[in-house]
Amino acid sequence: MNTLHAIANQFAHTVTAITPLGNGLINDTYLVETPSSRFVLQRINCTVFPAPEQIMANLDTLNRHIAQKDGASVKLQIPEILKTLDNSSLYRDQSSNCWRALRFIGHTESKEAISTDGDAEQAGFALGRFHRLLSDLDPQLLHDTLPGFHIAPGYLKHYHQVMQQSDLPTDRYCAEFIVLFQHIVDDLESAKQQGLLSLRVIHGDPKLNNFLFDKHTHKIVSIIDLDTVKPGLVHYDIGDCLRSCCHSTGPVEFDLAICAALLKSYLTEADAFFTEHDYHYLYPAIRLIPFELGIRFYTDYLEGNRYFKVTEPEQNLQRAIGQFRLCASIMTQESAIKGLISQLQNNVKPTKTPARNCRE
């Protein structure tokens, strides 16, 4: 704690307490108390993010963009950067670890699983509001902190290279599932290349535990963990958010009721900038993201678990099987999911008008 105190003192003269905060898997996060306030202190994981300066520049760009909008209508807080006493956004300690401080969003909690339809509605609202607030920010102003992230054809190519060299026995279910459905990996990238889907600002990791719920109202008031924000397709975020929120286990199934609640509130927000093509590519995105993650888990298993942390050697194989089963459940429900999307599209906007930006 002495070292931690010395680090916290880079951001505040007097520190009264430091306690671990949350259960994030990437950064080390602490709550720091001073006589007058509280703030979040985080050590950025520089193995995952080799350019922390770019992450901070992206966060600053986001905060400035949202600060221009009418405060009362924003309804979603982004943690503000707190500088060191000598006015830097980052502090590098003697071991070259990178530290930052963020404003603490109080009276909130993060959740690990959806427990009510209300939670799903809130997640959809928050992701949609986030995309909408940033829909008029030029994505090219942001650094790409994770090149290749969500480029599914790239993951498939890497899988083929690894598969040929791995000493581990092939898992028949995974290998056959990949062969059967590998034709879907280009769905989003080719739509992007044809200009049907455009680059926008994405969160990159919109899992449920990166939304902060107000403890009393149970409404989401903040979206955090903005290290993966970058130019991309909002479809990656939607697919990923639905993948994580609609994955019911025992047996693995894609929960259509949660999907309906989440998409409905997402589209109420996103319709402000969504085009016909954006609607059209929702189903391909919902199907692709679990397939892509399955390929990544299975490849990592074949490579000896280099990227995803494991507590036992076959954990990434089991994770891959779980994602492929989820993908299979999505494909079984294809007509119901597509029916839901067109119903929501018609309800949200009976007559489609040209896309417009959020100018709140």
Task: Choose from ligand ADP, Mg ion, none: what does 25 bind? Cβ within 5-8 Å by kind.
Answer: ligand ADP
What mask of x and - would describe binding to ligand ADP in positions 59 to 98, judged by CB under 6 A? --------------------x-------------------
Chosen from ligand ADP, Mg ion, none, partner binding at 40 (C-beta under 5 to 8 Å by type) = ligand ADP
Q: Which is nearer to ligand ADP, 49 or 173 (CB)?
A: 49
Residue 48 Cβ, how far from Mg ion at the closest point, in Å?
12
Contacts (CB under 6 A) with ligand ADP, residues 162-221: 209-210, 212
102 is a contact residue toward ligand ADP (CB under 6 A): yes
Residues 6+ apart with CB under 8 A from 296: 155, 307, 308
Spatial neighbors of 129 by CB under 8 A, at least 6 apart, are 75, 76, 269
Closest residue by Cα to residue 99 from 178, 179, 43, 168: 43
Cis status of the peptide bond prior to 206, with omega within 30 of 0: no
Check residue 58 for interaction with ligand ADP (CB under 6 A): no
Comparing CB distances to Mg ion, the nearer of 45 and 166 is 45
Nearest to ligand ADP of 243, 287 (CB atom): 243
| 233-272 footprint of ligand ADP as x/- string (CB under 6 A) | ----------------------------------------
Binding residues (CB under 5 A) for Mg ion: these are 24, 210, 225
Among 78, 191, 201, 224, binds ligand ADP (CB under 6 A): 224
Q: Is 225 one of the binding residues for ligand ADP (CB under 6 A)?
A: yes
From residue 215, give the alpha-carbon distance in Å to each of 106, 117, 123, 136: 9, 17, 15, 31
105 lies in the binding site for ligand ADP (CB under 6 A): yes
What does 258 interact with, of Mg ion, ligand ADP, none (CB < 5 to 8 A by kind)? none
Q: Phi first, then psi: give them for residue 90, nearest 5 degrees.
A: -130, 150
With H, G, I as helix, E, B as strand and everything else as coil, classify residue 338: helix
**SS3 for 208?**
helix
At 265, give phi and psi (nearest 5°): -75, -30
For residue 110, state whether it binds ligand ADP (rule: CB under 6 A). yes
- Nearest distance from residue 182's CB to ligand ADP, in Å? 31
Sheet holding 220-223, edge to edge: 108-109, 211-214, 220-223
How is residue 252 written in tokens?
């693995």
Pairwise CA distance, residues 264 & 270, whole Å: 10
CA distances from 123 to 50, 58, 110, 114 (A): 29, 23, 11, 9
Say how many residues touch ligand ADP, by CB under 6 A. 19
Q: What single-letter amino acid sits at 343?
A: Q
**Which of Mg ion, ligand ADP, none sits in contact with 29, Cβ below 5 to 8 A by type?**
ligand ADP
Say whether residue 27 binds ligand ADP (CB under 6 A).
yes
Q: Provide the binding-site residues for ligand ADP, judged by CB under 6 A.
A: 21-22, 24-27, 29, 40, 79, 102, 104-105, 108, 110, 209-210, 212, 224-225
